[in-house]
Amino acid sequence: MAGKWQAGNLPAEPTSLVGRRGELDQIRRACRRSRLVTLTGVGGVGKSRLALRAAAALRPEFGGGAWLVELSPPVDGPLLPHAIAASLRLTDQTARPMVEVLAEHLSGREVLLVLDACEHLTGACSRMVITLLEAVPGLRVLATSRRPLEVPGELVYLVDPLPVPAAGAAGPACGDAVALLAERAAEAVPGFDLADQDQEAVSRLCRRLEGIPLAIELAGARLRELSVPELADRLDDRFSAPDGDPEGVSGPPWHQALRTAIGWSHELCEPAERLLWARLSVFAGDFDAEAVREVCADERLPEADIGLLLDALAGGSILTWLPTGAGERYRMLDTLREYGADRLRHLGEAERFRRRHRDHFLSLAVRGAAGWLGPGQISWYDRMIGEHDNLRAALEVSLAAKDRLPALRLAGLLAFFWYGCGYAKEGRHYLQQALDLDTRPGPELVQALWADGHLAATQGDAGAAEIRAAQIELAAEPGDPYAASCAGALRAMAGVIRGNLVQAMAESETAYQSRFDDEPLTIAKLTGLYCRAHALTADGRIDEAVAVLEDARALCERCGELSMRSHGDFLRGQAELSAGRLDLAVAYGQAALRTKRRLHDSFGMGRTVDLLALAAGAAGRAHRAARLLGLAQRIWSTHGQAQAGVPALVTARRTCEKQARDLLGDNAYEVAFRTGFDSDIDAGINYALEPEGEGLHNGLG
């Protein structure tokens, strides 16, 4: 939820868009006329680029922003709403159906949603679009797909190839296809001037490629090695083959010119480049050179050669460079990825390299789980978010192959990711599939059960948490301290959710007694301590609660952990509020909020903003309390239940609302509440962090 929600997320375009002015005007008019516009056409014809350029032009007309949702595999039907939520920067920790959360979040806003690459999900996309358009009057959808979504009211716009020179016509001014070739050739070959080339060969080349932009871009990149006449001759030779594809690789029903151009570009690659192209097809989304070395290198592709091979593929427009804050990454267009996957199957290596990909990201999950409760937590957050598509792909490979242990291990190890990065519902989606494969006792089963139970509890599902606690005890070795800690933490969370303080105290005893033992710090242990502190605060035993929280904070500080420490600061703020120490309540609440914001933890932000609203209400600042309640409600709308349904917290929130209404009156309260609810999230958090008086700057953070 970081960033300005209203701004949208359209990426910068990697290269200029040549031509298409008429099409862009028509698409913009279509989007103003129809609430669903679908750009259709063959692969490589430029649907995505047109959609992004049109959306960028339309963005000022949508106060809620223009948002891109990329739907390339491994996104499948069940994950579609979660992919949309992630693109909208919403977490999915709610127990409600995600489509309801999406509709509620979008309601009251003018939003343009760009659904890119719908062709492998047409049924799911059609149902989703129908539901959202019915529920959100201000929503418009611009989709790209190789075939229509077939939704009532859909306006289908066929994207044609670029105009090519007529037979006998020649010259630099002969249409957009020639202009695109000229521009891409100049990018590939400094000093290249199309006017100096054989104009008949230029025209023949563009006609052979039938004006398909991707095919022309691939051709332009090859002008480093070949002249225009040589390229045109090679294409002529390739088209004269019986099927236009002498390698005989079957594949998707692409336009012949595109497939021929891709196959020809493939032939022009060195053997090692062709092999790497095929192996790179196992990646989803983008990837870095380190992952490529781990997954793709062997005796045929030495690790030392990978960097140069990646540069060569990028130079040939097979890969796109993506400079990021964490270093350079690469991406392959879906059409080229599909061709590479075809080649990998043809080589008989598909299963081997899918497993190598899975094993690499399993290793990443092991390292992430070990490093999460440490000083590198924010770096791990960024790293895992960046690899989300590849983590999904690794899970899908394990589940499809019914590899019980890798699936269970990977889904369970990612507990920190599902919880800490805001993917509770997606995590449970994968965990439950992995748990369905096999339930043989062992540490992998214990970890997966803990992960699923913990996520269930964060969604307010006490019953599911208790079921998982019982299953952990059955799956664990006798005397396993980690399993006992996990089971106790889940039952303590269930007690907190139900308001059963006796249960919360009893089940957190193990965590309390072992808090300073020599075992590594775990989320389960800290969860137990926090449940105990919550119960003590609710029972009025504030000094005991503060002592537990100080112990927990010391444990977190010892290893440099931030996320769980900030939750402890939130609980400390609650305890200080209960004791009437309002300055300290605000100080700890704001310390928690600053960290939750750094970690993009919207669940934690909702809780801490509520806490600050309660503190403002207790201080008699009714307008501030109402505005903060509105901001918190905006955040909670992405989760389903304010405060995850915890009775004491829900009651406190309602009491604060009533007090603020009584002081302000209904009209003034609603104005202040709506100001908070409708605000930009960043601006709202800045408001919540404003100093409120003396004693608030005590070094917490």
Residue 550's H or E segment, with its range, is: helix 542-559
User: If you average pLDDT over every residue of the chain, what do you get?
Assistant: 88
Range of the structural domain that residue 40 is part of: 5-158
- What is the spatial distance between Cα 80 and Cα 125, in angstroms, rounded to a whole number? 8
**pLDDT confidence band for 403 (50 / 70 / 90):** confident
Confidence (pLDDT) at 264 = 81
Confidence (pLDDT) at 384 = 95
High-pLDDT (> 70) share of the chain, %: 91
Domain boundary among 545, 577, 609: 577
Same domain, 446 and 531: yes
Same domain, 36 and 147: yes
What mean pLDDT do residues 205-226 have? Answer: 86
Number of domains in the chain: 5
Same domain, 392 and 517: yes
**pLDDT confidence band for 694 (50 / 70 / 90):** very low
C-alpha distances in Å from residue 250, one per residue of 15, 339, 567: 31, 9, 54
Q: What pLDDT, in 10s, does the model give residues 639-648?
A: 655 665 566 6
**pLDDT confidence band for 90 (50 / 70 / 90):** confident
Confidence (pLDDT) at 101 = 84
Same domain, 390 and 516: yes
Confidence (pLDDT) at 169 = 56
**Backbone CA torsion sign across 668, 103, 46, 277:** positive
Same domain, 561 and 638: no
Q: Which residue type occupies 315?
A: G
**pLDDT confidence band for 585 (50 / 70 / 90):** very high
Q: How far apart are the first and last CA of the chain?
A: 20
Is residue 98 pLDDT above 90, yes or no?
no
Same domain, 420 and 567: yes
- The answer to whether 65 touches 6, Cβ cutoff 8 Å, is yes
Residue 40 falls inside a structural domain? yes
Same domain, 240 and 318: no
Neighbours of 659 (CB within 10 A): 17
What mean pLDDT do residues 344-355 have? Answer: 96
High-pLDDT (> 90) share of the chain, %: 60
CATH of the domain at 333: 1.10.10.10
Same domain, 400 and 549: yes
**Which range, 238-242, 260-264, 583-587, is most confident?**
583-587
Confidence (pLDDT) at 397 = 92
Residue 370 falls inside a structural domain? no
Is residue 572 pLDDT above 60, yes or no?
yes
DSSP letter for 562, please: -
Residue 372 falls inside a structural domain? no
Same domain, 450 and 404: yes
Is residue 495 pLDDT above 60, yes or no?
yes
Same domain, 239 and 319: no
Confidence (pLDDT) at 510 = 84
Three-state secondary structure along 402-467?
A: CCHHHHHHHHHHCHHHHHHCCCHHHHHHHHHHHHHHCCCCCHHHHHHHHHHHHHHHHCCCHHHHHH
Residue 695 falls inside a structural domain? no
Confidence (pLDDT) at 699 = 46
Same domain, 664 and 642: yes
Domain boundary among 549, 577, 605: 577
Lowest-pLDDT choice from 88-92, 279-283, 669-673: 88-92
φ, ψ for residue 539, nearest 5 deg: -90, 5
Angle (deg, nearest 10), helices 122-135 and 80-87: 60
Q: What is the pTM of this model?
A: 0.88
Residue 165 falls inside a structural domain? no
Is residue 245 pLDDT above 60, yes or no?
no
CATH of the domain at 541: 1.25.40.10
Domain boundary among 514, 542, 577: 577
Same domain, 502 and 561: yes
Q: What pLDDT, in 10s, does the model give residues 249-274?
A: 444 444 677 888 888 888 889 999 99
